[in-house]
Amino acid sequence: MPSDFTIQSTLHAGIIMDGNGRWAVARGRPRTAGHRAGAETVTRVVEAAPDLGIGVLTLFAFSSDNWRRSPEEVGSLMALMAEYMERETARSVENGVRVQAIGRRDRLDPGLREAIARTEAATAGGTRLWLRLAVDYSGRDAILRAARSLLDPSRESVEAALGPPVDLLIRTGGERRLSDFLLWECAYAELVFSRRMWPDFDAADLAGAVREFRGRERRFGAAPPEPVRAVAGWLD
């Protein structure tokens, strides 16, 4: 976390926003329609997060492996992200949301890089929620970059370079894998999976995931005081 940044809540939730394309195809619509619907879900979730005790929210917007998709889909995603930055900046400032992009920027369209920079500068004073958007992001590459930048790597210095540990990791769309997302930060994250596609995910689903998280016993390697119930990890 930046040394000059104070947040009101400490729960860090990460979300792999999966299922946009499948949601659209199931409705006979192009995959790009699913991504646009997913952007509306981002707005709903960001608005709901602080009231649920989430102080840091990291969303997987575009994986470094997503460059393998068709040029049309990639172009649409990049345009949508730039549009989101322009549309949501004023709302973020009003709601005390600090927006930051993590991941590579050198491969992004110059227009998107400029939109990200403007949003980051305008929202730098937000203290209600730290919203981190993972764009052209790879967890493995992030760890490599952090290690290479440190003269004497340690757990503490790598964590400082990468960002705060994740408490709750949510993946929508029915898949159960991390897909190269926040690998170091998720060392002791509680995992919650939802079969709901991301465009259908809403504030109630986020609240359900937080309830599931708060009902679990986090031991960080210590032995439990008594037998604990098995947890399937499914939200619905």
Break the chain into its structural domains and give their ranges: 11-214
pTM of the model: 0.90
User: For this structure, is 18 an active site residue?
Assistant: yes
**Which residues have a Cβ under 8 Å from the Cβ of 167 and sit 6 or more positions away?**
11, 12, 13, 189, 190, 213
pLDDT tens, per residue, the chain with 236 residues? 444 455 556 899 999 999 999 999 999 999 999 999 999 999 999 999 999 999 999 999 999 999 999 999 999 999 999 999 999 999 999 999 999 999 999 999 999 999 999 999 999 999 999 999 999 999 999 999 999 999 888 999 999 999 999 999 999 999 999 999 999 999 999 999 999 999 999 999 999 999 999 999 887 776 676 665 655 566 66
Q: Could you tell me what percentage of the chain is helix, strand and coil, using 3-state DSSP and rounding each to the nearest 5? A: 45, 15, 40
Find tokens 């730098």 and name the residue: 124
**The CATH number fitting domain 11-214, selected from 3.40.1180.10, 3.20.20.70, 1.10.3260.10, 3.40.50.2300:** 3.40.1180.10
- Active site residue: 20, 66, 95, 152, which one? 66
Tokens representing residue 44 in the block: 């709903």
Tokens representing residue 58 in the block: 């990291």
User: For this structure, is 66 an active site residue?
Assistant: yes
- Active site residue: 18, 136, 167, 180, which one? 18
Pseudo-torsion of CA 36, 21, 62, 66, nearest 10°?
-140
